[in-house]
Amino acid sequence: MRALTWEGKHDIALKHVHDPTILNPNDAIVRVTTTAICGSDLHLYNGVIPTMEKGDIMGHETMGEVMEVGSLVKNVKVGDKIVIPFDIGCGHCHHCQDEEFSACDNSNPNFVIPEKLYGYSGAGLFGYSHMYGGYAGGQAEFIRVPFVDTNSLVIPPGIDDEKVLFLSDIFPTGYMAAENCNIKPGDTVAVWGAGPVGLMAIKSAFLLGAERVIAIDHFEERLKIAQEIGAETINFKEEDALTEELRFLTGGRGPDSCIDAVGLEAHGNTILNAIDTVKQKTKLGTDRPDALRHAIQACRKGGTVSIPGVYGGFLDKFPFGAAFGKGLTLKMGQTHTQKYMKPLLERILNDEIDPSFVISHRFNLEDGPEAYKNFNEKKDEFIKIVMKMQ
């Protein structure tokens, strides 16, 4: 089959590789119909996530048709159209039973690496380094799905892939980020990063009852979409005093909740971010948490900072004193996608939201390497790329 593979930093290739096969009795093999490039794929592209290997298949936003199932599979059958969550839950461990699927005990065969780093290992992830299991990703013609009964949402016939594809990651991720804010009627939510997850968080915050959402970014085309879906916007590169501006916009109190949908590769215009950038490039540091610093600083006393943006290592100059002094609640982590897929599908079917509004470009798989390059350089107003299989 053909697949997009990681060949090194800034090097994605279209390669012919072996087709996946059933390895375990709860597996399924799926013919991919539509897949997407996620902003977090760019962390791999930029080489800031360790334990990638040459030839690894990229991609964790995937859907397709079930071609083959293992002997223990009960809920999915050949011919079903399914959306595949990016995180892999076994469905049986304590965490999966509690719907904390991204904390699954059993799905990461390489659990030793994250356990050494983090104390405990999270779930395996599709196409996201060997630290997270080394599972082949979905930017390919076929994908093997372990524990498919848990890791699938069967889609009713007749629904366009683009309407439901983002149930695999960015819609649940944005929704969980907003849910973590415990939004009350009348609340104001500030969202750092108006990329796909940020845009989904904005939509979700409104769905959950926020009165106002303020989007913060520096790409005008993203801020324009944020405005179109009802957010007020701030271009942080045109704003010298972001915290003060947010205080002014919120009647002197500060946002009730702040969402960091940026993560470890922030593009801040601060001295601290310049230092982060040098440290990351010279391997003296791991993460560039400039958006998170701002979110903590700007959040009102007693508010919540929700972090769907990916972090990997150690954060320098992290304003923990501000978080403590203001009594903030911090909520974060990989999304428990499986928990949200079905209720969010209902919202799509009820026409409450059509997540395809984030799509800016449509390509075929062979366009993938160029698409990564342009997406990373934010050329041509790239926001969200989907790839259709021919």
Partner 1 sequence: MNTSQSPIILESRDKQRGFFSSTNSPLEPEQVYNFCQNKENVEKVLQGLPLDLDNFLELVLDNSKQAGTDQYELRWINKPQSKFEGSLTFYIIGAPANRGSLVTAIADFEKINFKTSKPSTLIEIFLRRMKALMETGEIPTTKGQTSGRKEHLLH
- Which x/- pattern over 285-314 shows residues binding partner 1 (rule: CB under 8 A)? ------------------------------
329 pairs with which residues across the strands? 304
CA 130, CA 258: separation in Å to the nearest integer? 32
3 pairs with which residues across the strands? 15, 140
Assess 86 for contact with partner 1 (CB under 8 A). no
User: Percent helix, strand and coil across the chain, each rounded to 5?
Assistant: 35, 25, 45
Interface pick for partner 1 out of 39, 64, 122, 133 (rule CB under 8 A): 133
CA 286, CA 50: separation in Å to the nearest integer? 10
Least distance (Å) between residue 94 CB and partner 1: 5
- The pairing of strands 28-37 and 81-84 is unpaired
Given CA atoms 149, 150, 152, 155 in this order, what sign does their dihedral have?
Answer: positive
Which is nearer to partner 1, 130 or 361 (by Cβ)? 130
Least distance (Å) between residue 92 CB and partner 1: 4
Least distance (Å) between residue 106 CB and partner 1: 4
Interface pick for partner 1 out of 13, 113, 272, 323 (rule CB under 8 A): 113
- The pairing of strands 385-388 and 361-364 is parallel
Cβ-based neighbours of 54, under 8 Å, separated by 6 or more: 5, 6, 7, 8
Length of the chain counted residue by residue: 390
CA 47, CA 8: separation in Å to the nearest integer? 7
Least distance (Å) between residue 386 CB and partner 1: 21
Least distance (Å) between residue 121 CB and partner 1: 9
The DSSP string of 128-157 is S-GGGT-B--SSBSEEEETTTTTS-EEPPT
The DSSP string of 9-33 is TTEEEEEE-PPP---STT-EEEEEE
Which is nearer to partner 1, 61 or 260 (by Cβ)? 61
Assess 106 for contact with partner 1 (CB under 8 A). yes
Least distance (Å) between residue 1 CB and partner 1: 9
**Phi then psi dihedrals of residue 69, to 5 deg:** -130, 155
Assess 151 for contact with partner 1 (CB under 8 A). no
| Listed ranges 102-110, 153-161, 267-275, 341-349: which one lies at the site for partner 1 (CB under 8 A) | 102-110
- Which x/- pattern over 38-57 shows residues binding partner 1 (rule: CB under 8 A)? -------------x-x-xxx
Which is nearer to partner 1, 144 or 384 (by Cβ)? 144
Interface pick for partner 1 out of 23, 117, 278, 349 (rule CB under 8 A): 23
| Listed ranges 125-133, 161-169, 199-207, 340-348: which one lies at the site for partner 1 (CB under 8 A) | 125-133
DSSP, collapsed to helix, strand or coil, labels residue 74 as: coil
CA 41, CA 44: separation in Å to the nearest integer? 5
CA 1, CA 63: separation in Å to the nearest integer? 16
Residues of span 367-386 touching partner 1 by CB under 8 A: none
Which is nearer to partner 1, 107 or 304 (by Cβ)? 107
Interface pick for partner 1 out of 13, 14, 17, 322 (rule CB under 8 A): 17
Chain residues that interact with partner 1, rule: CB under 8 A:
3, 5, 17-18, 20-21, 23-26, 51, 53, 55-57, 72, 90-94, 97, 105-113, 124, 127, 130-131, 133-137, 144, 146-147
